[in-house]
Structure 1
Amino acid sequence: MSEQELGITESKEHNPGEWYAEVVQKAGLADYAPMGGFIITRPRGYALWERLQGYLDGWFKETGVQNSYFPMFIPESYLEREKDIVEGFDPEVAWVTHGGHDELEERLAVRPTSESIITPFIAQWVRSHRDLPMRLNQWCSVVRWEATETKPFFRTKEFLWQEGHTAHATHEDAWEEMMTRLHQYERLYEDVMAIPGMLGRKPEHDKFPGAHTTTTIEALMPDGKSVQAGTSHHLGTSFAEAFGIEYTDEDEIERTAHTTSWGLSWRALGALIMTHSDDQGLVIPPELAPTQVVVVPIWQADTEDAVKEYAADLAAELDGEFRVDYDDRDGRNPGFKFNEHELNGVPLRIEIGPHEVDDGEATLVHRPDGENEVVSREEIGDAVRDALDTVYAKLYAAAEENLEENVREAHGRGEILGTIGRYGGYVKTGWCGDEDCEAVIKDEIAAEIVMLPLDDEEPVHDTCGICDDGAEETAYFAKSY
């Protein structure tokens, strides 16, 4: 690839859609598949998913979750046992009707989600209160045949995710489970991805089909749109009743279990790319970066041996603690290497030239803003650790500022529409609870209620911002991915 081909030609500020697609492809994260709506995840993109997966998987296991795997095909009769699932997902279900040349006796759904295949087996495995709680998770792909334009990681017909499914003795235990997972998603976004999240719940008409409560973490993108970054559902007893999850309690009385489900998809990668990256390419927080540090020796003919030896020793020392790449390629000049590593999102670059060798130093360059600092060779480990912490802090601060500046109050149809149209972001207003009031805004400007506050706090206005009836709660409107 030439230096010209490395460059990002689109502008994040003026053309975010085309810019995003260019970053995804030029940074080697994904390509478009020959079938519309699907993508091919390249090694660098999959490495990001693996690192994200590693954090969540570890936290899940620390809190009693066990991994499992269920078939990707779900018999139609299983799907139909929970009517809300059928109604909620029917337009998006892909069906298998033939096996080889033979027509199947029963259609098989390619899983849009797995409640209807996992819950019946939980029902078989749970007999007593001693079997509870049961916590299962699977890492897999699902298919939802949406007729929308492909946006890698944000919107594809097939996507990777994890889906957790649990059964509990009481409503309160299931509620605690739902909130535990929501806070783990928040931890992932804030501590690992450097993206502040807003926690809330979905309105009744936008809950997971059949759920008692759907909670969400929302993340605001720089283009003013919200991303549903992860969801956690309290399913009440609806699924347990449909699939027969019964247990005997301590008094030998038969009870119905309470279930939850919760999931986070590779949409998180889309949020990561969109939030931090810039017109030079990909930007990745240090915790997720496949390569955290790249060491680039810069030499002339008479200094080559000394510079390379010094730089190689430094890279080897750091490699035990950090994920390090030592780039001593002969066929590329330093400028090309700098641009390539910036495009690929390496958080920290260490430049070693003759002056660094003579002075026993190293020059550290931060990816987000090009800030550089000269540190002594003896303190390189601590200096790199501090620099990576600083890179994370810069990324989080920029995302936090974007969020804080883009939550606005509005009241009245015209003011709500005007505020969203001009600024994007979140607009909070009083809401009467009627879906028709959301539709007024949604039809006009494609913004919807993305969340309601988790707690029963007083509405921000006494009356509904659309119809002027009494407000029951605060609604956050936004355009979303």
Structure 2
Amino acid sequence: MSSEANQEELQNGTRSTNKQGSKKPPKEKKETVPSGKEVKKETKLGMTVKKNENFGDWYSEVVVKSGMIEYYDVSGCYILRPWSYAIWEVLKDFFDAEIKKLGIQNSYFPLFVSEQALTKEKDHIEGFAPEVAWVTKSGNTELEVPIAIRPTSETVMYPVFAKWIRGHRDLPLRLNQWCNVVRWEFKHPTPFIRSREFLWQEGHTAFATKEEADEEVKIVLELYRKIYEEYLAVPVVKGIKSEVEKFAGGLYTTTVEAFIPNTGRGIQGATSHCLGQNFSKMFEIFFEDDKGERSLVWQNSWAFTTRVIGVMVMIHGDDKGLVLPPKVATVQVVIIPVPYKNVDFNQMLDACNEVSQKLESAGLRVKQDTRDNYPPGWKYSDWELKGVPLRIEIGPKDIENKQVRMVRRDNFEKEDVPLEKVAQRAADLLDEIQANLFKKAKEVRDLCIKKVFTWEDFIEALNDKKMVLAPWCDDVEVEEDVKARTKGDTGAAKTLCMPFEQPDLPDGTVCFASGKPAKRWALWGRSY
């Protein structure tokens, strides 16, 4: 992505005209961004790039101007400002409460990993090796043995699991930690989507039986679906990863896959892995069962990251800025007084306070924008840029008529609401906005899934920026061949997942790529 400047803009206007005003903007400045490039600092409020014309620049601009991130002087690392971090907290609170109901406990393990531990599981470290950041010096002294910064915590936690687990009474062991990890990506970093340091939760659990591990994998994956669909209003496909795409060293990987229509790319939303007994064998995590026999434990790991915020921005944002689903919005309703000449402003503030109290009593997250150095039209644009779901305007005639005007962020529909119904109507509208955002996103996503049976139709759909549902022989060599044959400037196609909800596969159906007998339907596409 480009346009890494923190851009500031000014706009003026009133409720009646909504025209841009004539405040003289400050002089144009230049800012040096992490890549070392100099870019012009914009001086107008609002977006300057349209989503459908230049998606990359639009995304870079919206996450900065809306107040979600600030760029940092280490490339690929970003400051999460309160406007975005509060979204993470909402999701964290939901997920944390749900996993505690399952008996999963929070803990914290060190950031650093010894080279010996990290390299113990061969497949695992091969999967992460290019992204591992190493500490090699302390002050001016070279370390005798380099220390890795965790890209994930299997190799940090499992040597300790081997100490803690002795018998069947020590199982299940179910831990989670909320922390940061570092993966030194070589691809172009993108805020939230692909950063070198990010926040996540990572669950690590151990069981006596595979059946227990399998059950937890499904339960956690469903929680991830809820995060995306019920909180972020983003539709996802639940499925299982191919052998090529599964977690390195694991038995199998389940996933929720989202899709970004503007780029025609899938994006892995969150994963829940069954690790099998591979790691327990490597780290010698045994337990003695109730018959006195010694067995290896069955393990899982699962995680979601701050990537979820970026996916939400990409799906719902528009040419005016963010569009926040009410469930995760820091401010669900903003109240803006609309004063006119010769109007008692204190009277307007009293009206705003009254409405605010009604809404807060109904459990809504509310903010009054009573800044007197900006006109109402400027404030409208400012809060639209920030994506607040519902705006309430209160002018002199509204006070006289004992009403307020409500304006939705998702479709800009306006409605005058009697004062006595303001709390209930606001709550209802927020529910409608949440549902509408998901409905619109799902309709668009569904139009982007193309069902094909032949290679020619596969290529046509892929080039049309679609996800492709195709019958597949489930052969590793065939998947690698598809990657090789589709490799280009925009990246190769790969399996995103095999959806759990499988269409009928008639007898005699052949693989679209190899002509071999098809075993199941796979969802293919280019991805982030």
Q: TM-score range by the shorter chain?
A: over 0.9
Distance 2:166 2:439 in 1: 50
Question: Structure 2 unaligned runs (5+)?
Answer: 1-8, 12-42
Tell me the secondary structure at the aligned position of residue 445 of structure 2: helix
CA contact (8 A) 2:410 2:437 kept: yes
CA shift digits 1:411-450 (9 cap, x unpaired) = 333321111112x231011222233333244414522111
Partner in structure 2 of residue 158 of structure 1:
197
Question: In the superposition, relative to structure 1, how do residues 55 and 425 fare at CA in structure 2: closer, same or farther (>3 Å)?
Answer: farther
The one of 123, 133, 136 equivalent to 1:94 is 133
The one of 301, 309, 318 equivalent to 2:359 is 318
Matched ranges for 1:164-175 at <5 A: 164-175=203-214
The one of 380, 383, 387 equivalent to 1:338 is 380
**TM-score, length of structure 1 as denominator length:** 0.96
The one of 460, 483, 494 equivalent to 1:448 is 494
Tell me the secondary structure at the aligned position of residue 404 of structure 1: helix
Distance 2:62 2:440 in 1: 19
Partner in structure 2 of residue 115 of structure 1:
154
Runs of 4+ in structure 1 over 6 Å off: none
Distance 1:77 1:289 in 2: 44
Matched ranges for 1:167-316 at <5 A: 167-223=206-262, 224-300=264-340, 301-316=342-357
CA shift digits 1:310-364 (9 cap, x unpaired) = 1121112222311110111111101000000110111111111112111111111
Query: Following TM superposition, by how much is the alpha carbon of 1:88 offset from its aligned partner in structure 2, in angstroms?
Result: 1.1
Matched ranges for 1:345-356 at <5 A: 345-356=387-398
Partner in structure 2 of residue 472 of structure 1:
519
The one of 75, 85, 88 equivalent to 2:124 is 85
Tell me the secondary structure at the aligned position of residue 96 of structure 1: strand
CA contact (8 A) 1:458 1:473 kept: no
How many equivalent residue pairs? 480
Distance 1:120 1:458 in 2: 45
Partner in structure 2 of residue 49 of structure 1:
88
Question: In the superposition, relative to structure 1, how do residues 143 and 412 fare at CA in structure 2: closer, same or farther (>3 Å)?
Answer: same
Letter in 2 for 1:354: P
Tell me the secondary structure at the aligned position of residue 356 of structure 2: helix
Deviates more, 1:99-108 or 1:266-275: 99-108
Tell me the secondary structure at the aligned position of residue 282 of structure 1: coil
1:17 aligns with 2:65: no
Distance 1:355 1:144 in 2: 57
Distance 2:60 2:502 in 1: 40
Tell me the secondary structure at the aligned position of residue 205 of structure 2: strand
Root-mean-square deviation over aligned CA pairs? 1.6
Question: In the superposition, relative to structure 1, how do residues 456 and 26 fare at CA in structure 2: closer, same or farther (>3 Å)?
Answer: closer
Letter in 1 for 2:383: H
Larger helix percent: 1
Distance 2:486 2:222 in 1: 29
CA contact (8 A) 2:484 2:492 kept: no
Distance 1:58 1:134 in 2: 18
Tell me the secondary structure at the aligned position of residue 475 of structure 1: strand
Distance 2:178 2:504 in 1: 39
Distance 2:335 2:152 in 1: 44
The one of 343, 347, 360 equivalent to 2:402 is 360
Percent sequence identity is 40
Distance 1:458 1:172 in 2: 27
1:435 aligns with 2:474: no
Distance 1:16 1:407 in 2: 20
Partner in structure 1 of residue 4 of structure 2:
none
Tell me the secondary structure at the aligned position of residue 36 of structure 1: coil
Deviates more, 1:457-466 or 1:257-266: 457-466
Query: Following TM superposition, by how much is the alpha carbon of 1:248 offset from its aligned partner in structure 2, in angstroms?
Result: 1.5
Query: Following TM superposition, by how much is the alpha carbon of 1:473 offset from its aligned partner in structure 2, in angstroms?
Result: 1.9
Distance 2:78 2:345 in 1: 43
Deviates more, 1:93-102 or 1:8-17: 93-102
Distance 1:383 1:130 in 2: 53
CA shift digits 1:162-189 (9 cap, x unpaired) = 1110001101100111111100000111
Query: Following TM superposition, by how much is the alpha carbon of 1:82 offset from its aligned partner in structure 2, in angstroms?
Result: 1.1
CA shift digits 1:124-150 (9 cap, x unpaired) = 111221221111111111111121112
Partner in structure 2 of residue 397 of structure 1:
439
Query: Following TM superposition, by how much is the alpha carbon of 1:386 offset from its aligned partner in structure 2, in angstroms?
Result: 0.1
**TM-score, length of structure 2 as denominator length:** 0.88
CA contact (8 A) 1:73 1:108 kept: yes
Query: Following TM superposition, by how much is the alpha carbon of 1:458 offset from its aligned partner in structure 2, in angstroms?
Result: 5.5
Tell me the secondary structure at the aligned position of residue 244 of structure 2: helix
Distance 1:256 1:457 in 2: 37
Letter in 2 for 1:304: F
Partner in structure 1 of residue 142 of structure 2:
103
Partner in structure 2 of residue 6 of structure 1:
45
Deviates more, 1:193-202 or 1:372-381: 372-381
Letter in 2 for 1:275: I
Deviates more, 1:233-242 or 1:406-415: 406-415
Query: Following TM superposition, by how much is the alpha carbon of 1:250 offset from its aligned partner in structure 2, in angstroms?
Result: 1.6
CA contact (8 A) 1:349 1:364 kept: yes
Tell me the secondary structure at the aligned position of residue 527 of structure 2: coil
Distance 2:486 2:302 in 1: 26
Deviates more, 1:219-228 or 1:261-270: 219-228
Question: In the superposition, relative to structure 1, how do residues 457 and 246 fare at CA in structure 2: closer, same or farther (>3 Å)?
Answer: farther
CA contact (8 A) 2:69 2:78 kept: yes
Partner in structure 1 of residue 412 of structure 2:
370
1:406 aligns with 2:452: no
Partner in structure 2 of residue 328 of structure 1:
370
Distance 1:286 1:112 in 2: 33
Letter in 2 for 1:454: F
Distance 1:357 1:222 in 2: 44
Query: Following TM superposition, by how much is the alpha carbon of 1:457 offset from its aligned partner in structure 2, in angstroms?
Result: 6.8
CA shift digits 1:49-88 (9 cap, x unpaired) = 2222111111111211111111111001001211111111
Tell me the secondary structure at the aligned position of residue 438 of structure 1: helix
Letter in 1 for 2:270: G
Query: Following TM superposition, by how much is the alpha carbon of 1:200 offset from its aligned partner in structure 2, in angstroms?
Result: 0.6
CA contact (8 A) 1:138 1:163 kept: yes
